[in-house]
Amino acid sequence: MEITLIKPDDWHLHLRDGAILRDIVPFTTARFARAIVMPNLQPPVTKVSAAVEYRQRILEAVPAGNRFEPLMTLYLTESTPLSEIEAAAASGIIKAFKLYPAGATTNSNAGVKEIKRIYPLLEKMQETGLLLLIHGEVVDSDIDIFDREKIFIDRTLSALVSDFPELKIVFEHITTRDAAEFVRDGSEKLAATLTPQHLMYNRNSLLVGGIKPHYYCLPVLKREAHRAALIETIASGSPKFFLGTDSAPHARHTKENSCGCAGIFSAHAGIELYAEIFEQAGILDKLEGFASCHGPDFYGLPRNQETITLRKEAWKPPSSYPLASETLVPLKAEETIHWQLV
Ligand code: DOR
Ligand code: ZN
């Protein structure tokens, strides 16, 4: 069996920099026409000038014969000047700002501590048509890690959505029924991305039979009822939900560690995994909307002209891929994936 789709885009991707960047970019460019590139480098990409240079390094890593457009984002901080928002809007290459609550995840220390302090920046983004992409988790030490997303909706996101009714917001990598329902019932300016791991696994995968660090990401995997709600969400075919792998490479030893890093690498099978998920749910007819249409429609960009074809044929990713001078363990390493890119 084969299916042909409008070429998809990845609306949430980590590419890192330097030698790592050169190793991982080809996985994405083989499958996706465009990707929203996360700015959580060290130091973070907070300025248009840095994003222009980063974009150039990404383009230099694209293999000959692949056409790929990196869609750049800037990292929002409490000291971002208003002029940087204006410069970003005028740049033509920057589509969005990323809001990390400080301390919520990998390289988020420069993120936002007090949301009200960035309200003038959000005002300017709303006015200039830039999108706001949100890592939606609170970081308060009294909040259970499994409740961080739900409490973020109650304490922060609800107010943001009503205070900035014209601002386009993407609630990234949603993991709970609460988030799915909040987006579903919200205004048409609110959308969400879903990762393969949150659609395929629950927290048992992470914790039963030993701690499995390659299933550790943030937001952390949730209980099965939430995973099931996410599947219901994509089955609805609603245009508010679209593909964002959150593929995030980390060297093997930094994950297999007493303080292991958060992040799951899935770019090597970035569309194939979704084909498997949609097929298992009996909703393959909804894949193209999710992977190739809802994202560009929400961002106000054209859908891609090219197509890709996927064939139902089993293969196994290797136990690891090279990552600069180290290695990384991909999602489903040495396990069967049932779809292949033709
Ligand atoms: O698991 C994650 N890894 N979640 C994030 O939000 C960041 C990412 C990374 O950069 O490694
Ligand atoms: Zn991410």
Q: What percent of the chain is predicted at pLDDT more than 90?
A: 98
CA of 252 to the centre of ligand 1 (A): 15
Instruction: Tell whether the model's pLDDT for residue 143 goes beyond 90.
Output: yes
Closest by CA to 68, choosing from 36, 14, 39, 29, is 29
Whether residue 135 has its Cβ less than 6 Å from ligand 1: yes
Among protein residues, the one with the nearest Cα to ligand 1's atom 4 is 218
* pLDDT score at 106: 83
Burial 70-102 (b: 16+ CB within 10 A, else e): bbbbbbbbeebeeebbebbbebeebbbbbbbbe
Among protein residues, the one with the nearest Cα to ligand 1's atom 3 is 263
Whether residue 218 has its Cβ less than 6 Å from ligand 1: yes
* pLDDT score at 243: 98
> Which H/E stretch holds residue 35?
strand 34-37
Q: Residues in the chain, how many?
A: 342
| Torsion angles phi and psi, residue 161, rounded to 5 | -65, -40
* pLDDT score at 59: 98
In the chain, what is the straight-line distance between the N-terminal and C-terminal CA atoms, in Å? 11
* pLDDT score at 105: 87
Q: What percent of the chain is predicted at pLDDT more than 70?
A: 100
- Average per-residue pLDDT for the chain: 97
Whether residue 235 has its Cβ less than 6 Å from ligand 1: no
Whether residue 248 has its Cβ less than 6 Å from ligand 1: yes
Edge-to-edge strands, sheet with 34-37: 10-13, 34-37, 69-75, 94-99, 131-134, 169-171, 190-194, 241-243
Tell me the whole-structure pTM to 2 decimals. Answer: 0.98
Tokens of 204: 């048992």
Active site residues: 246
Determine contact, residues 328/252, Cβ cutoff 8 Å: yes
Angle made by CA atoms 184, 188, 190, in degrees to the nearest 5: 70
Closest by CA to 29, choosing from 290, 306, 295, is 306
DSSP 108-128: -TTSBS-GGGGHHHHHHHHHH
Whether residue 173 has its Cβ less than 6 Å from ligand 1: no
Which ligand 1 atom sits closest to the C-alpha of 264? 1
Mutate to test the pocket of ligand 1, among 10, 75, 105 (most ligand atoms within 8 A of CB): 105
Q: Coil, helix or strand for 217?
A: coil
Whether residue 12 has its Cβ less than 6 Å from ligand 1: no
With the C-alpha atoms ordered 196, 192, 226, 207, is the resulting torsion angle positive or negative?
positive
Determine contact, residues 189/160, Cβ cutoff 8 Å: no
* DSSP3 helix / strand / coil % (the chain, rounded to 5): 40, 20, 40
Which ligand 1 atom sits closest to the C-alpha of 107? 10
Give CA–CA dist 108/100, Å, rounded. 6
**Which bound ligand lies closest to the C-alpha atom of 264?**
1
Q: Are strands 2-6 and 337-341 parallel, antiparallel or unpaired?
A: unpaired
Among protein residues, the one with the nearest Cα to ligand 1's atom 8 is 263
Whether residue 14 has its Cβ less than 6 Å from ligand 1: yes
Question: Region 179-201: what's the mean pLDDT?
Answer: 98
* pLDDT score at 266: 99
Instruction: Tell whether the model's pLDDT for residue 317 goes beyond 90.
Output: yes
**Phi/psi class of residue 144: alpha, beta or left (left: φ > 0; alpha: ψ in -120 to 50)?**
beta
Residues with CB under 5 Å of ion ligand 2 are: 246
Which ligand 1 atom sits closest to the C-alpha of 100? 6
User: H-type helices in 92-218, by residue range?
Assistant: 119-128, 148-152, 158-163, 177-185, 196-200, 203-207
